[in-house]
Every structure is written in structure tokens, then in C-alpha cells.
Structure 1
């Protein structure tokens, strides 16, 4: 029984690794279960469905494969900055756990590019958000960030939140791609890349807001 359980677990891990890579390279819905099974070295083309069910279930399993380590790092960081009134501390809690996790993965890694593919699809994006926001450490970090932000119009806060998500998603995916291809990167390490992103995000969130009536004068 133990040998069979180990064999099943090894098969599941092979499928998850193959699916993550193929989804990162081609997009989730451009890849068939047959292609995943073949890439995972499985002779049975129904192996993906047998072990994971639907493609949505497979995407969720890939996300969960990474979230435990990310949450562990974030939980420790949040505990260290509890009570801080510095926006930068809370932005670091939101960003560095993901990037530290990416830095720990064998190269080439695929998770940043996989995440970017998932976040472009409305249905799959919901899975990513649900799996992430379910972690108490992330909710604490978001609450800490919000306490440090100045009063902003609702539409500005929403707009800048989307800017932050796009910035982080695409910058990490592009860095991961560049490392995989051996092309030059702006920063020498993932740690330094995180520092640069934190600098940019703090500046973005604290940027002045042009009053709507002043902005409209430019087009009169």
C-alpha cells in the first residue's frame, strides 16, 4: 500500500509540474489533457482527469502547490511588522513572500508565468484570488496597507490597486522568462527585484491625485 501511495503521489507531482509548464508557455485552455499526460510521461491519456478531475481543479491544485510556502513566509513577516505604520512594511509583506518563493524554485521556474496566464482569464482569476485571499496572513497584510494609505477617492484606490496587480504580475513573469532564457535582467537577484518593485508601488500608491475639474480643463 505504501509503495502504491508513493507511486500515485509521484504521478500527481509529474502531472502538476508538466501542466504548470505547459500552461505557462501556451495558456491554460490551449493545452489539452492529452498533451499534459504525454509531457508527464503518462501512457494513459486519461491520467489528468483521473487524478485531478476538471481543468479548473487542476489549476487549483497547481496554485495550492505553491501557496503553503508563500503563506509561511508571509505569516512570519506579518508577525514581525505588526503595529507598523510604515506603508513600505506592509507592501513588503504582500510582495516579498511571492518573490522569495520564486527565488527558491529550481530554474527554470514557471509559476510567475503560469500565474500571469491564469490572471488573464476571468473564471480562472477567481480561483487565484480565492485561494490567495483565504489566507489570514494576506488579509492582515492588506488591512495593514490600507491603514497606511492616505484618503483616496474610491475610483482612484481601485485604479491603483489594479495598477499594482498588473505591475507585479507582469514584472515577475518577465523576469522569470528572462532567467529561463538566459537574457539580461534589470536586477541581479530576485531580492533586488522585489526592492525595486516595492519602491515603485509605494510611489504609485502615494502619488498625488489630480482633481477631476483640473484634469478636465486640459481638454477644453
Structure 2
């Protein structure tokens, strides 16, 4: 069954979308790490490169603020995902006012559009998406802890809405696998779209196709 994915009125790309204030050392390190991880991959970046990009002369700054490189990876993942999740929650704020078919379509769109908006909204957006696509291949536990957490209201709302639509019971393990597959597909496809200068497919084509693919995985 094909779903008509409605355009969202609550989330729109904006070149002035807020980004974290980089005025203090900790946030400068997160911003530097996000850029470098997106450019060169997580394994291709040394701590000294991050310190240099952040303008940080204290060689123990990463250990002081994050404990380790993995701690910095986790902080960089979480920093932008909070904004993505807030957009997702905003998209679903009026979900109960829609008919069932429109609810389902909007929920599926919410699995994709907030990430596309992140890629479009500011200079680090494309780098963040590429970074997350790489991180997904590095550690399932990292993603489970910092991205798929039930503490994120938008993600939790999506999962609850999809559970109401799902045909038959799904084990916890099976659902976790489906979510990982959805994340891999969505992030990799958006990263590829960004790498090709936001083409060849249009923004709306990308969102609609990924939402349809996510329906097959999550429902």
C-alpha cells in the first residue's frame, strides 16, 4: 500500500537554524570533532587534530571534558540529535487531530525530514549527517545509548505511534534490529544525497522514498 506523505507545516529548513554556541572550550571541541569526523571519518581523526581545529592548546582538554575520544564521539552525536529530536516532536505535536491515514504518513515522514532539515540548515549539517552514518557502523551500543534513547520525546512519540499501527506483535530484539536498519538506511541515503550536492533526487523525492522504505521496515 502506498502512503501519501503529507508536507509538514511545522518544520522547514532555515539557513539560520540555531547551532550550539561555540564560545566555550567544550563546545568548540564538539564542533571541531563533528567537522573532522564528517570530513575524514572517526578513525581517521586524531585527538591532536581536534585540539588544533578547536584552537585548544591544552593537550588534555578532551580527557578533561569527555574522558576519552569515545566520550567526545558520544557528545558530538548527542549535540545535534537533540535539535533533530526537537523538530520531530514539533512535527507530531498535532498528530491526534489528523485521521488515521494522515497520522501514519506524518509519523513516517518524521523518521526522515528532521534529519534532512539538519543537513540543510547550517554549514555543519552535512558533516554531522556523514559523521552519524559512519558512527552507525562503529557501535550499536553508542547509537542505542545516545540516539535511540526513550528519553528523546520525538523518537519516543514516533515509536509509540508506529506500535499502534504495526500488524501483530514484534519482539524487542526484532524491533531493535529494524530500528538499526532504518537508521542505517536513512542516514546513509541522506549522506549520499548531501555528497552529491543535494541531488540527483529532489528533497521531496528523497523524503517520500525514505519514508516509504521505513514503512516497510517499521510497520
TM-score interval (norm. to shorter): 0.7 to 0.9
Find out whether 1:178 has 2:178 as its counterpart: no
> Which structure: larger Rg?
1
Change (3 A) 1:148 1:108: closer
* Number of the residue aligned with 1:106: 123
Structure 1 Cα separation of the partners of residues 218 and 75 of structure 2: 33
Contact 1:34/1:46 (8 A) holds in 2: no
Find out whether 1:164 has 2:209 as its counterpart: no
Question: What is the CA-CA distance between 1:135 and the residue it aligns to?
Answer: 0.8
Question: What is the CA-CA distance between 1:138 and the residue it aligns to?
Answer: 1.1
**Residue 42 of structure 1, aligned match among 56, 60, 67:** 56
Where has structure 1 moved over 4 Å in runs of 4 or more?
Answer: 152-162, 203-206
* Number of the residue aligned with 1:193: 206
Contact 2:88/2:110 (8 A) holds in 1: yes
- CA-based RMSD: 2.9
Contact 1:92/1:198 (8 A) holds in 2: yes
Find out whether 1:151 has 2:168 as its counterpart: yes
Structure 2 Cα separation of the partners of residues 8 and 136 of structure 1: 25
Structure 2 Cα separation of the partners of residues 52 and 98 of structure 1: 25
Structure 2, unaligned runs of 5 or more: 1-20
* Number of the residue aligned with 1:94: 111
Superposition pairs for residues 71-86 of structure 1, below 5 Å?
Answer: 71-82=85-96, 85-86=100-101
Change (3 A) 1:174 1:128: same
Q: TM-score, normalised by structure 2?
A: 0.73
Give the secondary structure class of the aligned counterpart of 2:133: helix
* Number of the residue aligned with 1:121: 138
Give the secondary structure class of the aligned counterpart of 1:110: helix
Structure 1, unaligned runs of 5 or more: 1-6, 207-220
